[in-house]
Chains A and B, each alone.
Chain A
Amino acid sequence: MTSHFDDDDEMAAEYVLGVTDIAARQAAEARAKRDPAFAARIVDWEVHFSGLNSEFASVPAPDLMPQIEARLFPKAPKTPRWQRFWGVGPAVAVLAVAAWFAFVPGAPDLTATLAPQAQGVSYQAALTGSELTITRVAGADADSTHDYELWIIRGKDAPVSLGVLPAEGGRLTLTDFGEGMVLAVTLEPKGGSPTGNPTGPIVAAGPLTRA
């Protein structure tokens, strides 16, 4: 399957190896932008050589994320609605990866009624052991460009995302929860909040109480 090695192959390989001067590199980049076939040759060479990447030894890097984020996100994300409703603190990093399953009912220890705040959407939530099930009891799906996202608010801490809610509700395992904590659902861009903090209006919210 070896094809003829022509000048374009050489140009692509030289670019990937990086042996040429700036002018030739810029010419190759410009070419790749307007010529998908040439761009594909570059990718082929990148793949060919990627086996060498394991020879780059890791070097501990300082935490440059504050500078990187300051470049990319010059203004702090806005959370006025949440501050008004819940009096929460500043933005925090949220690393909640929620695994949702099909709804399975159980005998709950804690329950919450997420009363509608807007759009007539409400949910019923129940905690059995550490398993949270939440079911939509009123209202419709978000429109095609939005999703409903579930949050837990522990005391005065900032809301922590529990993930985008499946259409009718779902089930997930909670690790840190208790009576009085608040569950809230917000309307977010498709795929969930882009910032890790709530950005849209609250559609339903309510505290966890003893069943």
Chain B
Amino acid sequence: MASDVISDLLVSVAREDRAAFRELYSVAGSKLMGVLLRILRDRTEAEDALQDLFTRVWLKARAYDPARGSGLSWMAAMARNLAIDRLRARAPLTDDDSALELVADTSPRAEAQLIAKGEARRIGECFDTLEPDRARAVRGAYLDGHSYQDLAVIHEVPINTMRTWLRRSLIRLRECMEA
């Protein structure tokens, strides 16, 4: 795995380098704020989660292994987990209005092309092998933090149908990614 700035900074943070920690915040903070805000949809909560996130990054940086992925991916996974945990602690989505509002934001962004590289192209191609509504459901889960229940409401299918959609989509995605 080629070294990247964030990866190098994480390695320094693992050695309790506080200057590197500050640099990491200035380099990666806005990207991670984007992850948290998209899933949490609440600025105040996202800022609170960003503090939690960097607190965890400091404490867990030793667990980061540059061989297993980019520094940003490692932190993004942590950010997503943190945001989704907070989301699941809230009341589930039930009414159609908020569902429609949530549907709006699943299209790829122009920024994607800038950072994309091989992995993004690969998963993009693999999503193309799924039926469009199922691809949207998987993307909605990953990018917007939608639960099975949210997805069932958004796509107007029974929750067990949504489970089947996702299971089949995951099988096909993995076949495609590992092909």
Tell me the A residues contacting B by CB distance below 8 Å.
1-2, 5, 9-10, 13-14, 16-22, 25, 43, 46-65, 67-69, 71-73, 93-96, 191-192, 194-196
Contact = CB atoms under 8 A, between A and B. Distances in A.
B33 A19 contact: no
A114 B149 CA distance: 68
Interface residues of B, number: 72
| Among A2, A5, A61: residue with most chain B CB under 10 A | A61
Interface string B140-173: 0111011110010000000000000011001101
Contacts of A191: 15, 17
A19 B166 contact: yes
B18 A58 contact: no
Contact of B19 (A18, A54, A95): A95
Contact of B18 (A25, A56, A196): A196
B37 interface: yes
Interface string B111-151: 11011100111111000000000000011011101111001
| Among A1, A19, A22: residue with most chain B CB under 10 A | A19
11 contacts: A2-B178, A9-B174, A19-B148, A46-B69, A54-B112, A55-B112, A59-B37, A65-B25, A72-B58, A95-B22, A194-B16
A54 B111 contact: yes
B170 A55 contact: no
Contacts of A64: 25, 29, 47, 50-51, 54
Contact of A194 (B18, B139, B166, B173): B18
Interface of B: 15-19, 22-23, 25, 29-35, 37-38, 46-47, 50-51, 54-55, 58-59, 68-70, 72-73, 76-77, 80-81, 84-85, 87-89, 108-109, 111-112, 114-116, 119-124, 138-139, 141-143, 145-148, 151, 166-167, 170-171, 173-175, 177-179
Main secondary structure of the interface of B (DSSP, over half): helix
A58 B73 contact: no
Contacts of B51: 64, 67-68, 71
Given A19-B141, A196-B18, A5 B170 contact: yes
A59 B34 contact: yes
